[in-house]
Amino acid sequence: MSTKKQTTLRVGETHVQAVRDTFPGVVLDATWQAEDQVTITIPVDMLPDVVEFLYYGRGGWLPNMVANDERPLRGCYVLYYLLSMEESDPGFVVVRAEVDPNTMEYPSVTPRVPACVWSEREAFDMFGLRAVGLPDERRLVLPDDWLEDLYPLRKDSMDYRRRPAPVTDVEDYTFLYEGNAEETTQVPMGPLHITSDEPGHFRLFVEGEDIIDADYRLFYVHRGMEKVAESRLSYDAVTFLADRICGICGNAHSVAYAEAVENAQGIEVPLRGQYIRSILLEVERLHSHLLNLGLVCHYCGFDTGFQHFFRVREKTMDLAVLLTGARKTYGLNLIGGVRRDILDEQKLATIKYVRELRNEVEALVDMLVSTANFESRTAGIGRLDPAVARDYSPVGPAVRGSGIARDVRFDHPFDGYKFLVGMSARSHDGCDVQSRTLVRVEEFMDSLDMIEQLLDGAPEGPIQTENWQYTPHKYALGYTEAPRGEDMHWAMVGDNQKCYRWRAKAATYSNWPILRYMLRGNTVADAAIIVGSMDPCYSCTDRVTVVDVNKKSSTVLTKDQLEGYCRRRTHSPLAGKGW
């Protein structure tokens, strides 16, 4: 293969050629949006065949599918199936198909490639596009009390401020049961559960304490960010909105969005800017992984470990303060680079922090692994079968704990990761909670090494560029490896300096569909730790509800009040106002 490969061949060309050879006459068009991204247009009825061929036949994985209302541009809806090719010729192949706005139907890919299930359900909720043959046609994103025929992301459907009145008072979501046992008890876990602190309704079908099957309803905190981005913000302000997708890994989203636009517009980020982006992404990983290691302890009923991991985690927050001025790595990204440089004294201080963290975390991990019951609580629990993983394209430590070393940082190196030496993706093949925890431990240590390497390797120079030509309606992918796995953003800018369509896929969005398989065969007692081992991020998944700007009960705080509160840390100005 590699001998035949000529230097002039573009990334993804072998895949396009393979599709041409297997399905003659199907590829109507192939265009490259960026060096490693090609989009092929095919007739809509060929979707299942081509996506299945690329997925199973060519070593592709499917982050998600993006639906887009392009009626104002070319009179049709368009579907983009994003495929990350990870075996030979790594890169991204996007399969594009146009859907007739009169029928609003396309053949479902889910029966062939299960990884599409959530995207196709979402395409119906948001656009009313019906996947014919989709086994599960329940609502995914919209609440049960939403209107029957209002599809929020259609360009002509609604203003982003509109709040339609609920059409029903009852939650009538049906939970699907796929087990064999005839008599099971249903145990609801959530929508508010004591250990998950974020809303998600899990329905466990149990016999005694054994879980036979599980189903879940999420998106209780859907924020409608995509709609807001399209209607209210200019495209270069969306980096800051993308930060707010997640309370933990916002920076990863912000970078992914920025790179989507940069890739589409051909904007070259200066080298130093690329290094700084990677350093900040790794700082984010540090505190996120410590959070999860602490939570693993908590779910096992070992609060001592939980508190100690959180004590050490405080140091990673201090590191974030040092580098960004805030405890979260927020607000640092712009289209074209970053806003803040790392000075020499900050570099020295960072290296000092990194050394301290390495020692403290090593000691803590030793303590955790040697704690009584750690083995029995985590080994063999929440098994994710590699075959299920292959079908559903999960990401991050969840899949790496099942022996599949998928990691965007190494599969599709971007930013500073291109310059790392001697590193590779971590994986363990126990397929259980323990493996996923150990992957996180090793990745934490790797992150420390990466930060040191990146700090040493960063060249002098500018950190952002401001010279680029804005071309409307160009689109591309941006991707990062967030602590929980790959974040995939697809963005198309419009002719009004706004996003025409922005689709942010958070890591956890890819992981939810496999949870059902991880829960099966375990006990109610282990449910929390299994959900936790995936390190789910509800708000990430639920990225898209509009904050009601005209809410009557909203409280406006003055700057003085806020600053005073920051100093005193007592007498919250919001106290007694329903917060």
Partner 1 sequence: MTIIVAILQAVLLVTLAPLFSGITRKIRAKMHSRKGTSIMQDYYDLAKLWRRCEVKEGGSGIISRLTPPIFLGSFILVAAGLPLVMQACPVPFLGDIITVLYLMALPRFMFALGSIDSAGSYTAIGGVRELLVGVLVEPSLILVLFVAAIAAGSTNLGIMANAVGTLQAYPFVAIVVAGVACAMACYIEMGKLPFDLAEAEQEIQEGPLAAYSGPSLAMIKLGVSVKQLVVASLFVAIFLPFGAATTAAPLDLLVGLVSFLFKLLIVMLIASVIENSVMRARYKYLGRYTWFVVGIASLSLVFLVIGI
> Residue 285 or residue 308: which is nearer to partner 1 going by CB?
308
Tokens for 177, please give them: 């049961």
Characterize the bridge pairing of strands 105-107 and 130-132: parallel
> Residue 26 or residue 369: which is nearer to partner 1 going by CB?
369
Q: At what angle do helices 507-519 and 117-127 cross, to 10 degrees?
A: 120
- For residue 501, state whether it binds partner 1 (rule: CB under 8 A): no
> Residue 373 or residue 424: which is nearer to partner 1 going by CB?
373
- For residue 168, state whether it binds partner 1 (rule: CB under 8 A): no
Distance CA 75, CA 79 (A): 13
- For residue 44, state whether it binds partner 1 (rule: CB under 8 A): no
Of 164, 166, 188, 247, the one binding partner 1 (CB under 8 A) is 188
Distance CA 133, CA 458 (A): 51
At closest approach, how far in Å is the CB of 302 from partner 1?
4
* DSSP 8-state assignment for residue 69: E
- What are the Cα distances from residue 417, in Å, to 258, 279, 351, 382, 532? 16, 9, 18, 32, 28
CB neighbours of residue 459 within 10 Å: 10
Of 253, 285, 308, 503, the one binding partner 1 (CB under 8 A) is 308
Tokens for 90, please give them: 């790594």
- For residue 371, state whether it binds partner 1 (rule: CB under 8 A): yes
Which listed range, 340-348, 455-463, 524-532, 535-543, lies at the site for partner 1 (CB under 8 A)? 524-532
- For residue 195, state whether it binds partner 1 (rule: CB under 8 A): yes
209-238 binders of partner 1 (CB under 8 A): 209
Distance CA 223, CA 318 (A): 29
- For residue 202, state whether it binds partner 1 (rule: CB under 8 A): no
Tokens for 77, please give them: 């809806």
> Residue 188 or residue 459: which is nearer to partner 1 going by CB?
188
- For residue 198, state whether it binds partner 1 (rule: CB under 8 A): no
Characterize the bridge pairing of strands 337-338 and 76-85: unpaired
> Residue 22 or residue 371: which is nearer to partner 1 going by CB?
371
- For residue 526, state whether it binds partner 1 (rule: CB under 8 A): yes
Closest CA to 93 of 45, 49, 46, 61: 61
Characterize the bridge pairing of strands 91-99 and 37-41: parallel
At closest approach, how far in Å is the CB of 174 from partner 1?
19
How long a stretch of residues is the chain?
579
- For residue 304, state whether it binds partner 1 (rule: CB under 8 A): yes
Are 397 and 484 a contacting pair, CB within 8 Å? yes
Of 82, 279, 281, 300, the one binding partner 1 (CB under 8 A) is 300
- For residue 357, state whether it binds partner 1 (rule: CB under 8 A): no
Of 301, 386, 462, 564, the one binding partner 1 (CB under 8 A) is 301
At closest approach, how far in Å is the CB of 177 from partner 1?
16
- For residue 352, state whether it binds partner 1 (rule: CB under 8 A): no
Are 85 and 91 a contacting pair, CB within 8 Å? yes
- Residues binding partner 1: what is the number (CB under 8 A)? 33
- What are the Cα distances from residue 219, in Å, to 190, 223, 545? 13, 9, 10
User: Binding residues for partner 1, per CB under 8 A?
Assistant: 185-188, 193-195, 209, 297-304, 306-308, 311, 371-374, 376-377, 523-529
